[in-house]
Amino acid sequence: MSLQENTLALAGIFQSAELVRQIARQGMIEQAPFESSIDSILKIDADSIIDVYGGLSGLKLGLQQIVLNGVISKKNLEVMRYVRSIMIAEKQLMKRSDMLTLVRQGLQDVIEQAKHCPVTDPQICGQLAQLYTQTLSTFPERIQVAGEPRFLQNPHNTDKVRSLLLAGIRSAVLWKQKGGKRWHLLFSWGKITRFAETYLEKIALDEQTTFPSRTLN
């Protein structure tokens, strides 16, 4: 098991959790990580973890959440609650071969649809949300999302939340495939945080290279 790769998959879970929190509490969402997270659901045969998220920068928000999780706050506790719930949902899913088959079949339909429109298109999110409702939301332990009723009662926001929960579960599957264990969150958290910080430094360096600062004369 590579804890470095493991950290990337974990960042995918944290990213989905934070985006769910943003929608539920603020009614708004960061578009770039949202697109990366939704796109990750449809990349079933990617060559590497980084490719699943469209590059390392696609996990920037999730890596930031891992680093920030060491600071106790109401916001961070809420994100961690979603992370734990996503991991529980993944465990339930992997025990149900019938549901796993339904999810895979449903994703193939969405992948075909995504060839004709952006992955963040309301139609795509609607299909993913429906797939989540028909499968994972039928489990005994459903993920409870807390937030402002005026945001959560918006159908478009509801679709985004369910799509992101599906993205989080996809990342949780990847995390398990890379050897992720619940006890890593307790006993290897220091190492995970350091790896996340290293990845964020690389992203910052890449951003500086891509967008060099200008010197004014």
Per-residue pLDDT tens over the stretch 180-190: 888 888 888 89
Angle value at C-alpha 28, between 160 and 42, nearest 5 degrees: 30
* Residue 216 included in any domain: no
pLDDT classification of 217: cutoffs 50, 70, 90: very low
Per-residue pLDDT tens over the stretch 25-44: 999 999 999 999 999 999 88
Q: Could you please report the per-residue DSSP string of 43-107?
A: -TT-SSHHHHTTSGGGGHHHHHHHHHTTS--HHHHHHHHHHHHHHHHHHHHHT-HHHHHHHHHHH
Number of structural domains the chain divides into? 1
> Considering the entire predicted model, what is its pTM?
0.92
In angstroms, rounded to a whole number, what is the distance separating the alpha carbons of residues 36 and 59? Answer: 8
Per-residue pLDDT tens over the stretch 69-113: 866 566 788 999 999 999 999 999 999 999 999 999 999 999 998
* Residue 95 included in any domain: yes
* Residue 213 included in any domain: no
Contact predicate 128/163, CB 8 Å = yes
* Residue 165 included in any domain: yes
- pLDDT score, position 215: 46
On average, the pLDDT of the chain sits at: 90
Domain that holds residue 174: 3-208
Q: What is the CATH number of the domain that holds 97?
A: 1.10.3890.10
* Residue 215 included in any domain: no
- Above pLDDT 70, what percent of the chain? 94
* Residue 135 included in any domain: yes
* Residue 28 included in any domain: yes
* Residue 185 included in any domain: yes
CA torsion sign, 36 to 68 to 91 to 199? positive
- pLDDT score, position 156: 95
- Phi, psi (deg, nearest 5) at residue 212: -65, 145
Question: What's the rounded mean pLDDT across residues 60-75?
Answer: 82
pLDDT classification of 45: cutoffs 50, 70, 90: confident
